Chains A and B, each alone.
Chain A
Amino acid sequence: MTTTVEKPRTGSVPSGAARTGPARARRRPRGDRTHLLFLLPAVALFTLCITLPAAVGIFYSFTDSIGFGEFDFVGLNNYQVLFSDPGILHAYGFTLGFSLCTVLVVNVVALALALGLTSAIRARTALRTIFVVPMVVSQIIIAYVFQFVFTNPLPALAQTLGIGPLEQSILVNPDLAWISIVLVTAWQAIPQAMLIYTAGLLTVPKDLYEASSIDGATPRRQLTTITLPLISGFVLINMIVGFKDFLGAYDIIVGLTDGGPGTATRSITMAIFSGFQNGDYAYQMANATIFFLITLTIALVQLRLTRGKARV
């Protein structure tokens, strides 16, 4: 569930549990063997399935392995080549640009929907149920559905309306294909951000709106001076979590363009996976390591920023 919201402030769980710490230590100073037994399977399997592969990956990134057979150590060579490889740089450029665009689109739309859904409307529950559905369908399948829509009915529609540039499917246009990926990714990611914003909006005290409307504040003013400042923490969470998710984009791109036309929409993840095809095994391991460092940096920034926010 890397797609769901991760916890920005690890600090709060420990703090609560730590409160009961001293008292418990007095009562039961000796360890309970069964507790160890409870913890062991998770930690052991985790080490085998996550930690070990991570270590193996970093190890191979310093070699010239092609995935099997013998290999030699090549030091940082893979990394050096990586930074001057136009294909890789393009994948990073595309993924970063696409992620930034998508984050903006997702947050603007999600906030607007959340504002709508928390305001006084009819059929609130039914509407919310509908808006959340995109979150629960398989990304690749929905990408295939959109691929059909972009390929057949949309160009046909553009033809009847006489919109020249859109008469051809945007999926085969190297300059426009990324837009379709932003749209479909946003379509799929909006519900999660929307639910988080909904939770955020419900934390804003109601009387603030009442007081300000007595003072004659317009809804627009209430939005910019009350709502937005008070939910800024949620905006931050959504931005960072979304950005981190979009950097790993794969399923939707495979379904829509498969990295094409040419390599116009090839993402970092697609580049990493190509390590199986061209004997680039070790090389793409180095790429994966770089990608990990980027994810880690974002996660640390997230932890730091959201912690700071909670202390304000």
Chain B
Amino acid sequence: MTLPAAPTADQPRPGVADGPPRASGAAGSAGRPKRRPAGRARPSWSRTLLLVLCSLTVLLPFYVTVSMAFKTPSQAVDGEAFSLPSPWSVEGFVAAWELTEFPRAFGISLGITVVAVVGTIVLSAMASYAISRNWHRRLYRWSFFYLLAAMFLPFPVLALSQVKLTGMVGLANPAGVALLHIMFQLSFSTLLFTAFLRSLPEELEESARMDGASTWGTFWRIVFPLMAPMSATVGIFAVLKAWNDFMMPSMIIEDPTQQTLPVLQNIFQEQFSNDYHVAFASYLMAMAPAILAYVLAQRWVMSGLTQGAVK
């Protein structure tokens, strides 16, 4: 199905129909927003001001979180959200650190995230490579659509049976959660990877093969490194999903002492009660890594979404 002069959705990617293959989709769309599409070239201060005011609605909850977290117990008790802490105190952090046993929960969350990210990238990169280089074979083509089908199977649909099955095979623990994260990411990642591999010239692989490299070696030494931009995009989405998720770990992990950070916030709601400074310090410690990861990997977040949208 070629799309001659397709409108809207196809325009950002001239490569779809018959143009030159995209060398690096990620870098391309990340750089693009810097262009000015509107007619006027001179920056408008009034519009900037308006957007800055809008951004306050985004920043306000974070301001509340930070200011509450640094308050002393006596100051936090009055529930005044918008006052600055005076004096600044780290008592909340100390209390939250001990109450929720933060280091252990952090380690579990981190472990799940690392396994989920590595697993997602490796499994879907390998599968995508096999699929894109064997598209003419029915087995591979059907496998592609089979993997995509998970998009219609969100966790709530599968939860009841997955909880039962993970319990039966001894995976009602962080390992099971990491595995399920990989599986739920597979559709989206395979989609992005196959599209990316299509734009990768096969000549490179051919020449490596001539030099005697095996398929295995060709993939890991030539193709996989070239997939790095897309792996970054796939990876950052896997990080955000695995780190932030509440629903799946809360259902799958049986032992509360093995729970992830978001679930702990739920478990400790009652103990937090009116110790708002403890609660918010705990929230802040759980949120900060995700925000940090986003700030460091911003361009991959943007390009991943844009790529997904135009496909």
Contacts and interface: CB of A to CB of B under 8 A. Distances in A.
B158 to A, nearest CB: 5
Nearest 9 A/B pairs, CB to CB: A21-B136, A17-B135, A5-B308, A233-B8, A152-B79, A42-B127, A34-B215, A153-B81, A138-B244
A12 B44 CA distance: 39
B43 A134 contact: no
8 contacts: A56-B161, A122-B45, A124-B33, A127-B52, A141-B265, A234-B309, A295-B157, A311-B6
What is the interface of chain A mostly: helix, strand, loop, or mixed?
helix
B198 A17 contact: yes
Given A146-B61, A311-B3, A4 B127 contact: no
A181 to B, nearest CB: 15
Interface residues of A, number: 127
Interface stretch (A24-32, A71-79, A82-90, A172-180): A24-32
Contact of A288 (B32, B124, B157, B185): B157
A16 B293 CA distance: 34
Interface string B26-52: 000100111111111111110110111
Nearest to A2: B154
A230 interface: yes
B88 interface: no
B153 A54 contact: yes
A38 B10 contact: no
B136 A22 contact: yes
A10 B183 contact: no
B39 A209 contact: yes
Contact of B35 (A8, A202, A295, A312): A202
Nearest to A211: B39
Interface in B135-193: 135-137, 140-141, 143-148, 150-165, 179-180, 182-191
B240 A204 contact: no
Contact of B123 (A41, A50, A281, A289): A41
A91 to B, nearest CB: 12
Given A195-B302, A285-B160, A213 B39 contact: yes
Contacts of A144: 265, 269, 279, 283
A233 B244 contact: no
B140 A195 contact: no
A54 B158 contact: yes
Contact of B152 (A4, A138, A269, A295): A295
Contacts of A187: 57-58, 61
Interface string B48-74: 101110110111011011001000000
Nearest to A58: B161
Interface string B240-282: 1101111100010000000001100110010000001001100
B99 interface: no
A120 B183 contact: no
Given A121-B44, A138-B262, A310-B7, 7 more contacts: A13-B198, A35-B133, A38-B127, A38-B219, A121-B47, A135-B301, A149-B64
A50 B160 contact: no
Nearest to B247: A250
Contacts of A149: 61, 64, 81
B304 interface: yes
Contacts of A269: 156, 247
Nearest to B16: A12
B164 A56 contact: yes
A53 B216 CA distance: 32
A11 B143 CA distance: 15
B90 interface: no
Contacts of B144: 13-14
Contacts of A285: 160-161
B102 to A, nearest CB: 14
B208 interface: no
B46 to A, nearest CB: 9
A273 B291 CA distance: 30
Interface in A113-143: 113, 116-125, 127-142
A295 B16 CA distance: 28
A201 interface: yes
Q: Which of A3, A43, A45 has the most CB of B within 10 A?
A: A43
